[in-house]
Structure 1
Amino acid sequence: MGRDRRPLGLLFWLVLGSALTVAVFGASATGIGTGTGTDPGMSSHGAGGGGPEPDDYVDIRNVPPAAPAPRPGPDGSTGTYRVDCGRNEGDHYNQDNLVVSPGLPGGAHHTHEYVGNRSTDARSTDRGLAAAPTTCRGGDRSTYYWPVLRRTDRPATHAYEKAAGHGNAGRILRPAEVRLEFHGNPVGRVVAMPRFLRALTGDAVARTARSEADVRARWGCSSLPGRFTTRYPRCPEGDRLTRTLIFPSCWNGLDTVDSTRTHLVFPAANGVCPRDTFAVPQLRITLGYDALPAGTPIALDSFPEQRHSPRTDHAMFVNVMTDAAMAVVVDCLNSGRRCAV
C-alpha cells in the first residue's frame, strides 16, 4: 500500500487539468464571472471574478439546529484522536492540488493553505512526503489542506496572496484555530488507514454541478455550534466564523488513490458503511476565524465560474502516518478514549 500508485491516475488528471486551464481562461476571456455581489457590507473592492452573490449569506440565527448524530451502538468506536499541526505559521500556500491534480503545478487555479507536511506541492511523491519535515507535533508527516478564505475589502499585500489570479483577490484570513481530529464509527470498530491514502471532501464545482451529492460545506459560528449551513454565516458580534470539513471514512480495502472518488466513501446516516467497505478513522478539520466587523465581505477561493460560492468548500488529506502511529490512532478510537498529540 505504501508505493506510489499513479501512472493512469496521473495521466487522467494531467489531461483534466489542461482542460480546466482552457476552460478557466476561456471564461475569463468571455467575461464570465464579472458580476458584483451586493450583500450588505460588500464594498467596491469585492472579490474579483464576481460573487459572492447576495443569497450566499445567511444570519446564523435563522439556521435551524442540525439533526443529532446517531447514538453509538454497543460495538461503536467512540474515541477521538487530536493532532496539533499548528495554524500555517510558516505561510505554506500554493495553487497546486496533489490529490486531484498530481504533477500539475497550478492545477487548482486558486490558493490552498496547508498544515502538516511542509513539502507538499503538485510534484510531491510518497517517498518525498515520508522524508519531509512537518509542522505536526509527534512527527505526523501527513498533509492537510483547503482553499483560503479572504477578506475582500482589504487588498492583498503578500506575494502568496496575489499568486492565484483567476478572480481570487483580497487579504487572506489566517485561521485563529485549526483543529484536526480523527473520530471512530458509531456502529463498529475502525481499521487502519493505509499509508499514503489520498482523501477528498466537498465539491469545488458545486455551483455549476448537476447534483449536490458531493457538497459537504458546513459553515457555522462559535456560539451556536449545533447550527451549520452551506452559506456564509453572519455571526453574532464577537463570534468566530467556523468551517467544518468532514471526510469520507469507508475504505474499499484496495486503493489509496482513485480518480472516481469510490475508494473512500461516506457511511450512511446511521454510520453503517456500504457493503465491501471498511470503517477507517474519520478525519474532521475545523477552522475558526477571529470575529469580523458586521457585514464584512468574505470570499472562498474558487474557480472563476464558481463565483466564490460557499457551497464549493472542500479539503484534501494525504495520510503519511507510519503504520505504528496509525495503530495508536485506531487503538484510541476503538477503546473509546480521548487522545491528543
Structure 2
Amino acid sequence: MGRNTRKRRTPLATKAIAASAALALGGGGLIWANFYASAHESHNQTWGGNQTKAATAQVATISCPDVQQKLTNVPWRARQGVATELANLDKQITEAYTRLASTRDAQAKDPNFVQNAIVGPLKEKRAATIDRIRIDIERVGGSFDNAIKQLAACTTQSANQTTAGGNGDGQQQNGGGEQQNTGGQQQGGQQQGNAGQNIGGQAGNGPVAADFVDITKVAPNVLSKPNKTPNASTGTFTTRCGVNANKNHNTDNVIVAPGVTNGAHHLHDYVGNQKVNAFSSNQTFLQGGTSCQNRNDLSAYYWPVVRVQDGSQDFDQNADGGGKEGNVGKILTPVQAQIKYVGSPASKVVAMPQFLRIITGDAKTTTNGLANANAHWSCTGFENKVQLTQQYPICPQGSKVVRTFAFQSCWDGQNIDSANHRTHVAFADPASGVCPNGFKAIPQLTMRLVYNITPPTIQNGQVKNAYAVDGFPEQLHKPATDHDDFISVTTGGLANRIANCINNGQNCA
C-alpha cells in the first residue's frame, strides 16, 4: 500500500509540461508581457500610491499541504472517519479562501490581517482535524506518522506564484497581480470589485489572461509513443455512454469523500452509472442503471464540468459547489465524449477488478505543484502536435477544444482503492510502457471530451469570454487542475471481454 508514491507521468503528461518552455518562443510570451503591464495599470487606477509593489505583493490564494497524499496506510475500518475529516480540511480551506476574497479592504489597511485573521486560525482548525485523523487511525490499531501534524500550517501565494506556473515548478511565471479579487459582492453574475473592475474571471478567482494561449503559436511538443514489443496488447474497446445530455450532475465525490455532501466543492458531469453520489455503495452501483449502450457497462465515468464565463448564469449560481464557491457561468455539455480502453505496448493485460477506483490528475495543482498533474488540453486538428497542461488553448476558427485523459494502466493486483487513492495503481514507464515491479498491466482507460467553444480573446491584458474547468475555489480555475474519476462496474463478463478483445488485437465496441 505504501509503494509507488512517486507519480510516473504518462507520455502525454511529459509532453504537455514541455509546452511551457515552448510558450516562451510562441505567442504566450507576448500575452504574458501585456498581461503583466495591464495588471499594474489596473491596480494603479484602483489602489493609488505605489501600486506596482502592492499588485505583486497582494495575496492571491491560500496554499495548504495536501494531507490525503501522505496517508498511504489507513486501516479499512478507519477510512470512513478519515475521509470525513479530510473533507473537513477541504471545507476549512474553502471557507478561508472565501474570507480572503471578501476582505481585500482590510488587507490593504493591515499587512498582518491575512496572517492574524485567516491563516493563523486556519492552522488551528487544521491541527485539530489532523489530530482527529490520528485518533481514528490509532483507535483501530493503525499507526500514524506524527510528521503529518506538521502539515497543519498553510501559506499564502501571490499572483506570480500561481499564474500559469504551478507551485515552484521552474516554469515561466507571470508577475502580474490581475487574478486577485479586489473584494466586493457578486452582482448579476459579475464580480464587482473596487472601481467596478472584473479581475480574475467572472467570480474573481480566475482564469486570467496568462492561463490562455493561441495554440497556433505553440511549438509541437507531442513525442512518439513507446515501441510495441511482440507481446504487446494492441486491441481497443470503445464504450458509448453519451455526453451527459440528460444533465446528471452533482458536487459530490464518492471516491475521496464518501458520505459527504458537496465533498468535491465543484460540479461533475456523470456518464455511465446513473446513481452515483456521496452515499452510493458498491451495491447501489449494481442497481444504478447506465447511460452506456452496452447495458453491462455500469461503470461510473465523471469529470468536472467546463463553463464559459461570458456573464451568463446556470442553475447552480447560488448553490454550494457552484456560484457560492466561484464556479460560475454557463455549463457546457461536450459535443463528443469518447471512452476507449487500450492495451499495453509491453505486455498483455489482465481484466480490471470489479469496483476498481482510479483518479487521474490532481484537482489541487495550484497549491500542490505539478507532480500528479495529468491534464491535457488541445484543439481538434492539433492533438497530435500540441498538448497543454498549464494553459487553456485558444483554438482557431472551426477548431474545437479537446480535453484528453489517459488513466493509470498498472494495478497492484490486490486493492481496488488505497488510502490516498493513488498507490494501488500506477503509470507505466513513458519510454518503455512497462509497469513498475509488482504491478500488472490493465486496460488503459482513455477519454476524449470535445467542446464547441467560441475562442476567448485577450484585450488589454484581460481575457474576454473565458472558459474554465470547475474546481476548488482556492485553485483559481487553473487548467492544470483538470482531473477525471472512474469506478469500474461491469456485469455479464464484460471486464473479461474487454481484456480479451485488447489482448487479441481486435477493435471492439
Given the two structures, how large is their TM-score scaled by the length of structure 2? Answer: 0.62
**Cα shift readout 1:6-59 (whole Å, capped 9, x = no counterpart):** 543222211100111111111101228987549xxxx94933141113221111
* Contact kept? 2:405, 2:448, Cα under 8 Å: yes
Residue 68 of structure 1: how far off its partner (Å): 1.1
Structure 2 residue 93 is matched with structure 1 residue 20 = no
Q: Which residue is 1:103 aligned to? A: 259
Secondary structure class of the residue paired with 1:150:
strand
Out of 292-301 and 230-239, give the one that drifted further. Answer: 292-301
**Cα shift readout 1:276-317 (whole Å, capped 9, x = no counterpart):** 000001001110001414523111111111100000000100
**In 2: Cα distance, 1:271 partner to 1:33 partner:** 50
* Contact kept? 2:413, 2:440, Cα under 8 Å: yes
Letter in 2 for 1:30: L
Residue 259 of structure 1: how far off its partner (Å): 2.2
Matches within 5 A, 1:239-254: 239-254=399-414
- Structure having the larger proportion of residues in helix: 2
Unaligned runs of 5+ in 1: none
Among 446, 454, 457, the residue aligned to 1:292: 454
Q: Which residue is 1:153 aligned to? A: 310
Out of 274-283 and 158-167, give the one that drifted further. Answer: 158-167
Among 263, 266, 269, the residue aligned to 2:427: 266
Q: Which residue is 2:213 aligned to? A: 58
Residue 222 of structure 1: how far off its partner (Å): 0.3
* Contact kept? 1:84, 1:137, Cα under 8 Å: yes
Q: Which residue is 1:170 aligned to? A: 329
Matches within 5 A, 1:130-279: 130-139=286-295, 140-159=297-316, 162-164=319-321, 165-209=324-368, 211-226=369-384, 227-230=386-389, 231-260=391-420, 261-269=422-430, 270-279=432-441
Residue 217 of structure 1: how far off its partner (Å): 0.4
**In 1: Cα distance, 2:394 partner to 2:216 partner:** 8
Structure 1 runs (4+) deviating above 6 angstroms are: 32-35
Among 278, 298, 304, the residue aligned to 1:122: 278
Residue 154 of structure 1: how far off its partner (Å): 3.6
Residue 90 of structure 1: how far off its partner (Å): 1.3
**In 2: Cα distance, 1:11 partner to 1:32 partner:** 32
Q: Which residue is 1:339 aligned to? A: 508
Structure 2 residue 78 is matched with structure 1 residue 11 = no
Given the two structures, how large is their TM-score scaled by the length of structure 1? Answer: 0.92
**In 1: Cα distance, 2:491 partner to 2:413 partner:** 18
Among 478, 481, 484, the residue aligned to 1:315: 484
Among 278, 302, 322, the residue aligned to 2:471: 302
Letter in 2 for 1:276: G
* Contact kept? 1:161, 1:169, Cα under 8 Å: no
**Cα shift readout 1:161-220 (whole Å, capped 9, x = no counterpart):** 9552211111011100000000100000000111000100001000111x4120000000
Out of 159-168 and 331-340, give the one that drifted further. Answer: 159-168
**Cα shift readout 1:229-253 (whole Å, capped 9, x = no counterpart):** 0110011111110000111011001
Secondary structure class of the residue paired with 1:28:
helix
**In 2: Cα distance, 1:12 partner to 1:36 partner:** 37
* Contact kept? 2:178, 2:208, Cα under 8 Å: yes
**In 2: Cα distance, 1:134 partner to 1:8 partner:** 31
Task: Summarize the Cα distance change of 1:276–1:216 in structure 2 as closer, same or farther, 3 Å threshold.
Answer: same
Letter in 1 for 2:479: P
Residue 65 of structure 1: how far off its partner (Å): 3.3
* Contact kept? 2:394, 2:455, Cα under 8 Å: no
Out of 55-64 and 90-99, give the one that drifted further. Answer: 55-64
Secondary structure class of the residue paired with 1:26:
helix
**In 2: Cα distance, 1:32 partner to 1:325 partner:** 51
Secondary structure class of the residue paired with 2:493:
helix
**In 1: Cα distance, 2:252 partner to 2:225 partner:** 34
* Contact kept? 1:161, 1:170, Cα under 8 Å: no
**In 1: Cα distance, 2:395 partner to 2:481 partner:** 20
* Contact kept? 1:9, 1:258, Cα under 8 Å: no
Among 422, 445, 451, the residue aligned to 1:283: 445
Task: Summarize the Cα distance change of 1:208–1:336 in structure 2 as closer, same or farther, 3 Å threshold.
Answer: same
* Contact kept? 2:379, 2:395, Cα under 8 Å: yes
Task: Summarize the Cα distance change of 1:258–1:175 in structure 2 as closer, same or farther, 3 Å threshold.
Answer: same
Q: Which residue is 2:126 aligned to? A: none
Letter in 2 for 1:141: L
Letter in 2 for 1:137: Q
* Contact kept? 1:237, 1:291, Cα under 8 Å: no
Task: Summarize the Cα distance change of 1:174–1:154 in structure 2 as closer, same or farther, 3 Å threshold.
Answer: farther
**In 1: Cα distance, 2:210 partner to 2:471 partner:** 17
Residue 89 of structure 1: how far off its partner (Å): 1.4
**In 2: Cα distance, 1:171 partner to 1:236 partner:** 22
**In 2: Cα distance, 1:161 partner to 1:239 partner:** 33
Higher relative contact order (CA 8 A, sep 6+): 1
* Contact kept? 1:66, 1:228, Cα under 8 Å: yes
Unaligned runs of 5+ in 2: 1-74, 105-176, 181-196, 458-464
